[in-house]
Amino acid sequence: MAETYTVKKNDCFASISKKFGFADYKIIYNHAQNAELKRKRPNPNLLVEGDKVFIPDKNLGEEACSTEQLHNFVLKRPKVKLRIVVKDDQGKHIADKKYELKIGEKMLEGSTDGQGFIEKEIPAETTRAQLKVFTGDEKLKVLSWDLSVGELEPSETNLGVQARLHNLGFYYGRLDGKVDTQQSKSSIETYQGKNTMTKTGNVDDALRNKLRDSHDVKS
């Protein structure tokens, strides 16, 4: 039965689709009654707590097959991928280093590419992970991060701006969405200066776009 779902913390369309038994999140995301939400949230992985998502009825499929025989049916689901770019405190990519990514009891291993990039398939319901990168440096051999998967808000929100500044190493305060505090303004000015932008300390479209380019896009 069709219903309206209220987005919770850590939700994305992939996890919502799995929760309601849909094989492909696009069935929900591309539904006509979600057109306004799709316009507002063009990235299906970036939702805001409290967003409303229309969940349509499921269409039952049929397959012709012979009777009195056993048949195996395989349900194909789109893969959910976690993408991370690892940088040091100077903004330099941590390239070609071994890493361990722990999700629940499962340990995934690999090496960052030449731009510090990691891409791994993960369960749609993942909300927490731990990443360790082995730098090989004598003073700092292991870098470790506790990751909150799905919590990042779009850059159109103030909390999304603040979180990106935090992830990029410019903001170290409380993530509360308050961008008019001295600490927030100072971090914005520092980021603007590092990116040859006019240092205003204010959040505007130019800042949001630049943060989206430097944080959300592999570079």
What pLDDT shows up at residue 75?
A: 58
More confident residue, 90 or 182: 182
Pairing of strands 3-6, 52-55: antiparallel
Q: For the residues 27-36, what does the mean pLDDT come to?
A: 96
List for the chain the helix, strand, coil content (%; round to 5).
25, 20, 55
Instruction: State whether residue 84 is helix, strand or coil.
Output: strand
Sorted by where each starts, the structural domains of the chain and their CATH numbers stand as 3-55 (3.10.350.10), 80-148 (2.60.40.10), 158-216 (1.10.101)
What pLDDT shows up at residue 74?
A: 61
User: What does pTM read for this prediction?
Assistant: 0.72
Strands across the sheet with 106-111, in order?
Answer: 106-111, 98-103, 128-134, 142-148
Q: Is the pLDDT of residue 219 over 60?
A: no
What pLDDT shows up at residue 98?
A: 95
Q: For the residues 75-84, what does the mean pLDDT come to?
A: 75
More confident residue, 44 or 60: 44
Q: For the residues 14-42, what does the mean pLDDT come to?
A: 93
High-pLDDT (> 70) share of the chain, %: 90
Q: Is the pLDDT of residue 156 over 60?
A: yes
Pairing of strands 117-122, 106-111: unpaired
Q: How far is CA 70 from CA 64, 66, 76, 199, in A?
A: 13, 9, 20, 68
CA distance linking residue 207 with residue 139, whole number of Å: 35
Contact 24, 14 (CB under 8 A): no
Q: Is the pLDDT of residue 192 over 90?
A: yes
Look at residues 126, 97, 93 and name the one whose alpha carbon lies nearest to residue 110: 97
DSSP of 166-214, one letter per residue? HHTTS--S--SS--SSHHHHHHHHHHHHHTT--------HHHHHHHIII
What pLDDT shows up at residue 27?
A: 93
pLDDT tens digits, residue range 106-134? 999 999 999 999 999 998 889 899 999 99
Least confident of 3-12, 83-92, 177-186, 193-202: 83-92
Q: Is the pLDDT of residue 215 over 80?
A: yes
